[in-house]
Amino acid sequence: MNKQPGVKRQQREASTADQTRAALVQAALKLFGRQGFDGTSTRAIAAEAKANIGSIAYHFGGKEGLRAAAADHIVDTIQGIAGEALGGAQAAAPLNPEAARAQLFAALERMVGFVVASPQAGQIVQFVLRELSHPTAALDRIYAGVFEPTHRRLCQIWEQATGEPAESEETRLTVFTLIGQVIYFRIGREAVMRRMGWREIGNEEAAKVVAATTDNLRAMLAARRPAAGRKGKS
């Protein structure tokens, strides 16, 4: 019985430490994306996170470690979303063409829901754009954890839907166009809202983006149905 207060205190301390760590990662994600790594001080990060500046060194070893943690947070977040929409990096069993096409539509809709409508996506995209402009080890983590496996999985599903080889140059470029049309609605958000006369991009507007992007996908797949048919007959 005497040990119980000590256990509870340790649990509270662990919870507080986890909260501080998470707050610092969120602050770094926001400020690194907005101001860049070099333009962001550890003092500014600590202030944004409402944490002691020494907690950055304590939890992450320093600013560079915090950038790596922010990259890992992006990987974990997108892996969770992609995993629900696409399954594992390697499917347990091949999909038939109809099921593969359905999975492509579901993945595209899920992608729009997160990238276009989720406030969290704004900070993630800003951070990634910074890394793409000036690559560091953080981009290596994001590429290995998200870009390459997600793109490869989409290419696999595309092959199952159309019969076109997953690793052909054409397929890889096609999948990039599918992803790119969605990403534009985030990076070009302000221009889209002005041109469309929207005050925001919320669920209603995101649904219209889903309709437009899925129409594009439907047209692309319709043009390739003969290839899918030939594969099904082989």
In this prediction, residue 10 carries a pLDDT of: 53
For the residues 180-208, what does the mean pLDDT come to?
A: 96
Specify the amino acid at residue 122: G
> Residue 176 and residue 131: Cα distance in Å, rounded?
18
Give pTM, 2 decimals: 0.84
> Residue 199 and residue 193: Cα distance in Å, rounded?
6
Note the pLDDT tens digit of each residue in 19-39.
Answer: 999 999 999 999 999 999 999
Distance of CA 122 to the CA centre of its chain: 10
> Residue 192 and residue 92: Cα distance in Å, rounded?
39
**Mean of all residue pLDDT scores within the chain:** 89
Neighbours of 176 (CB within 10 A): 14
In this prediction, residue 12 carries a pLDDT of: 57
Note the pLDDT tens digit of each residue in 148-164.
Answer: 999 999 999 999 999 99
Crossing angle (nearest 10°) for helices 4-35 and 63-86: 90
> Residue 11 and residue 188: Cα distance in Å, rounded?
44
Between the two ends of the chain, the Cα-to-Cα distance in Å is: 71
CB distance 32 to 130 below 8 Å = yes
